[in-house]
Amino acid sequence: MRLEPTILYEDRHVLVVNKPAGWVTMGLPEGQETLLTWLKKMIKERDAKPGNVFLGIVSRLDTPVTGAVLLAKTSKAAARLAEQFRRRTVSKIYWAVVEGRWPKAEGTLQHWIKHDPRFRRVHITHAKDPDAEEAVLSYRLLETSHNCSLLELAPKTGRKHQIRIQLSSCGHPILGDRKYGAKTPFPAGIALHAKEITFLHPVEKTPKTVEAPIPSYWRSTALKSVAADRA
């Protein structure tokens, strides 16, 4: 049974929800449910709105990824938040459980990646590739064992699938991420969670940080595996 999204923060201007695995954020053909269409329907019924509900997705997550998704409830808020993303002033923190023992306590990963639309994935390439995009993230090792490691990640760029391909290219794919070489199964989606997002409130002009609790099954699978193997 697919879990429903939960509201983490809401006011008249913005909405932050915790997306479960399996939800497409937006962009499916008309009639197919997405996170966006579900939220619009929920708000319309909850608030008894007579007309259309405006919601603008300003941050997305891949279908198998869980965690915080930021939406705007007005067009003015959408424009202002989109500009923050363009300027890279929005910060996001992810947790990921990867296969194997991660070798270093902290550092930065820098790669050049390119899209392969035929297989709906990305590949590592080189800086001189005309289709290349730079992908940068910093990491911190939280826990490690022989079988898997828990990482905290802070992307500096917002490329499609960048966390997934960057970790996989280091020989440590995310648990459950078969598209990028993982052999270890995971209960739902993959072991990648958008744990925190910080942005400037589009109207109040004050920093706002919203945290998304990790799915409960992480504690009985991925995190348990790290702790048990380390003990």
H-run or E-run covering 146 = none
Q: Which of 11, 47, 62, 229 is catalytic?
A: 62
In the chain, the N- to C-terminal Cα span, in Å, equals: 34
Tokens of residue 88, six digits: 């890279």
Using CA atoms, how far apart are residues 188 and 172, in angstroms rounded to an integer? Answer: 19
How far, in Å, CA of 169 to CA of 165, rounded? 6
3-state helix, strand, coil in the chain (%, to 5): 20, 35, 45
In three-state secondary structure terms, 228 is helix
Q: Catalytic residue at 11?
A: no
Q: Provide the b/e sequence for 131-150 (b: ≥16 CB within 10 Å).
A: ebbebebebebbbbbebbbb
Residues, the chain = 231
What is the Cα–Cα distance from 103 to 170, expressed in whole angstroms? 10
Residues with catalytic annotation? Answer: 62
